[in-house]
Chain A
Amino acid sequence: MDNMRDKIKERLKDKILEWQDNSSKRIYFTLDKKDIFETVRFLFKDLGLRFSTASSIDTEKGFEILYHFSFDKAGEFYSVRVLIEDKKHPQIDSITPIFPGAEWIEREIWELLGINFIGHPNLKRLLLAEDWPEGDYPLRNKDEP
Chain B
Amino acid sequence: MSHKVIVPIGPYHPLQEEPEFFQLYVEGEKVVDIDIIIGYGHRGIEKLSEGKHFDQVAFLVERICGICSSSHPYAYVLAVEDILGGEANVVPERALYIRTIIDELQRIHSHLLWLGLAGHFIGYNTVWMWAWKYREPVLDMFEMITGNRNNYAMFKVGGVRRDIKDEDIPILEKTLDELVPAVDMFRGAVMDDPVIKARLKGIGILTKEQAIDWCVVGPTARASGVNIDVRRDEPYGVFDRIDWNVIVEKDGDVFAKTIVRILELYESVSIIRQCLDKMPKGEIDADIKEVPPGEGIGRVEAPRGECFHYIKSDGTNRPIRHKIRAPSYMNVASNKVGAVGGTISDATITLAAVDPCYCCTERVAVIRKANNKKIMNGWDLIRLSQEKTNKLKEGLSNARDK
Which residues of chain B (35-86) have a CB below 8 Å from chain A? Answer: 38-39, 42, 44, 46-47, 82, 85-86
Q: How far is the CB of A141 from chain B (nearest CB, A)?
A: 10
Please give me the residue from chain B that is nearest to A73 by CB atom: B233
What 0/1 pattern do residues 43 to 61 of A give for CB contact below 8 A with B?
Answer: 0000000111101110000
B306 & A52 in contact (Cβ 8 Å cutoff) = yes
Q: How far is the CB of A44 from chain B (nearest CB, A)?
A: 9
Contact check: which of B47, B310, B312, B333 meets A138 at CB < 8 Å?
B47
Contact check: which of A51, A56, A66, A127 meets B215 at CB < 8 Å?
A51
What 9 new A-B contacts, CB under 8 Å, besides A57-B312, A68-B310, A128-B39?
A22-B295, A28-B295, A50-B212, A55-B321, A66-B310, A77-B299, A99-B213, A105-B329, A127-B39
Residue numbers in A under 8 Å from B260 (CB-CB) = none
Contact check: which of A72, A105, A129 meets B233 at CB < 8 Å?
A72
CA distance A26 to B296 in the complex (A): 9
B130 within 8 A of A: no
A126 & B308 in contact (Cβ 8 Å cutoff) = no
B295 & A127 in contact (Cβ 8 Å cutoff) = no
A55 & B47 in contact (Cβ 8 Å cutoff) = no
A75 & B234 in contact (Cβ 8 Å cutoff) = yes
Secondary structure dominating the interface of B: mixed
Count of residues in B whose CB is under 8 Å from the partner chain = 37
Residue numbers in A under 8 Å from B360 (CB-CB) = none
Residue numbers in A under 8 Å from B187 (CB-CB) = none
What 0/1 pattern do residues 296 to 325 of B give for CB contact below 8 A with A?
Answer: 110100000010101010000000110101
A120 within 8 A of B: no
The 4 closest A-B pairs by CB, nearest first: A101-B215, A75-B234, A55-B323, A127-B39
Secondary structure dominating the interface of A: mixed
A50 with B297, Cβ < 8 A, contacts A66-B310, A128-B39 known? no
What 0/1 pattern do residues 116 to 136 of A give for CB contact below 8 A with B?
Answer: 000000000111110000000
B321 & A138 in contact (Cβ 8 Å cutoff) = no
Q: How far is the CB of B30 from chain A (nearest CB, A)?
A: 21
Please give me the residue from chain B that is nearest to A28 by CB atom: B295
B214 within 8 A of A: yes
B228 within 8 A of A: yes
Most buried by A among B297, B306, B325: B297
Residue numbers in B under 8 Å from A50 (CB-CB) = 212, 215, 228
B330 within 8 A of A: yes
A3 within 8 A of B: no
Report B's interface with A, CB cutoff 8 A: 38-39, 42, 44, 46-47, 82, 85-86, 212-216, 227-228, 233-235, 294-297, 299, 306, 308, 310, 312, 320-321, 323, 325, 329-330, 333-334, 336
Which residues of chain A (7-66) have a CB below 8 Å from chain B? Answer: 22-23, 25-26, 28, 50-53, 55-57, 66
A100 within 8 A of B: yes
A53 with B47, Cβ < 8 A, contacts A26-B82, A99-B213, A128-B42 known? no
Please give me the residue from chain A that is nearest to B320 by CB atom: A57
Residue numbers in B under 8 Å from A85 (CB-CB) = none
CA distance A101 to B214 in the complex (A): 4
Q: How far is the CB of B241 from chain A (nearest CB, A)?
A: 15
29 CB < 8 A contacts A-B: A22-B82, A22-B294, A50-B212, A50-B228, A52-B299, A52-B308, A53-B330, A55-B323, A56-B323, A66-B310, A68-B308, A68-B310, A70-B233, A72-B228, A75-B233, A75-B235, A77-B299, A99-B212, A99-B214, A99-B215, A100-B214, A101-B334, A103-B333, A127-B38, A127-B39, A127-B42, A128-B39, A138-B47, A139-B47
Residue numbers in A under 8 Å from B44 (CB-CB) = 138
Please give me the residue from chain A that is nearest to B234 by CB atom: A75
Which residues of chain A (71-118) have a CB below 8 Å from chain B? Answer: 72-75, 77, 79, 99-105
Contact check: which of A25, A28, A79, A125 meets B234 at CB < 8 Å?
A25
Residue numbers in A under 8 Å from B42 (CB-CB) = 127-128
CA distance A103 to B337 in the complex (A): 14
CA distance A105 to B294 in the complex (A): 23
A125 & B47 in contact (Cβ 8 Å cutoff) = no
Contact check: which of B235, B297, B310, B329 meets A104 at CB < 8 Å?
B329
Residue numbers in A under 8 Å from B336 (CB-CB) = 100
CA distance A99 to B211 in the complex (A): 11
B333 & A101 in contact (Cβ 8 Å cutoff) = yes
CA distance A45 to B201 in the complex (A): 30
Please give me the residue from chain A that is nearest to B86 by CB atom: A23
Please give me the residue from chain B that is nearest to A50 by CB atom: B215
Q: How far is the CB of A53 from chain B (nearest CB, A)?
A: 4
Q: How far is the CB of A127 from chain B (nearest CB, A)?
A: 4
A55 & B82 in contact (Cβ 8 Å cutoff) = no
B213 & A101 in contact (Cβ 8 Å cutoff) = yes
Q: How far is the CB of A103 from chain B (nearest CB, A)?
A: 7
